[in-house]
Amino acid sequence: MEQIRVRELAKDFNEYANQTEDGIEFWYARDLQKVLGYAKWENFANAINKAKESCKAAGFEPADHFPDFRKTIAMPKGAEKEVPDYMLTRYACYLIAQNGDPTKIEIAFAQTYFAVQTRKQEIIEERIQEIERIEARKKLSSTEKRFSGVLYEHGVDDKGFANIRSCGDQALFGGRSTNDMKKKLKVTQNRPLADFLPTITIKAKDLATEITSFNVERDIIHGESRISDEHVRNNKDVRDLLAKSNIRPENLPAAEDVKKVERRVTSETKKMNKIANVQSLKKDEPEG
């Protein structure tokens, strides 16, 4: 009997879920009241108020998770009545469940349901951040490859390119050389420093390199010395921009090896696609 009830609750929670125009998932409080087994609105409103207090104690603004509004409901003989309601975020629902009676199967289910859903959202956000970093690293590699070609056309060989890039790093990292940063972040000498930098620093390096490449071509700058001065200046400008937001690239911790992250994301994407394909085949199978 309980397994059947759990399936029913899962179906109810999913069916009552709504989305704002921005794609934010929410539940109407009066819908949730029914699913959680509260017969009276007054009792459920008390649970909401306790959840609001928990929200505030956790350092969040209750109005962001419990926005209230009034809705019109039908009454007998064609009459209508305005009643209070709330648009509850997933976190708000979780807090309401946490303040409920866990001996009730509805509350016990809700506590697990919203905890799992919140974790799923966290995993999705983590995956998006990982993909953003992978793409930023690929973009930097592409920018540096093009930069190398531009320098070659302006009288700089491979050794000169390495020197210019090193001088740029030193300007971006507040006087610390590429090797200094590798030691600080415990990066082996045979690996690129950028593979272990956080996304913000990768994008900073990319921006400075793009600017230098653009200026070298626009202003027809030739020679290692002049181009190096240009690259140092652009890296310092980017560093100053970060400093305005109290970001010091040399003080940021090392990020996970981007190659390892890329392998993990690729592997998990393949698994998800495989599962999706299997489910699709099952749907297409003829019945009987």
- Give the count of alpha carbons within 13 A of 149, CB side only: 7
Residue 280: predicted pLDDT: 47
Check residue 283 and give its pLDDT.
47
pLDDT tens track for 113-125 = 787 776 766 776 7
Q: Report how far residue 64's alpha carbon sits from residue 68's, in angstroms, rounded to the nearest whole number.
A: 10
Task: Determine the pLDDT at residue 82.
Answer: 84
Q: Which residues contact 52 (CB under 8 A, 6 or more apart)?
A: 62, 66, 95
- What is the Cα–Cα distance from 214 to 151, expressed in whole angstroms? 11
Two tokens at 64?
């962001």
pLDDT value at residue 233: 98
Q: What is the mean pLDDT of the chain?
A: 87
- How high is the pLDDT of residue 71? 78
CB 41 within 8 A of CB 67: no
Global confidence as pTM? 0.61
**If we measure between CA atoms, which residue out of 204, 218, 237 comes closest to residue 150?**
218
For residues 153, 159, 162 and 168, what is the CA-based torsion angle, rounded to 10 degrees? -70
Determine the pLDDT at residue 61. 92
252 C-beta neighbours (distance < 10 Å), count: 15
- DSSP annotation of 155 reads T
Low-confidence ranges of the chain (pLDDT < 50): 1, 275-276, 278-283, 288
DSSP 249: G
The pLDDT, as a whole number, for residue 129 is 87
Q: Which two tokens stand for residue 255?
A: 């990020």
Structural Rg of the chain based on CA atoms = 28
- Amino acid identity of residue 203, one-letter, is K
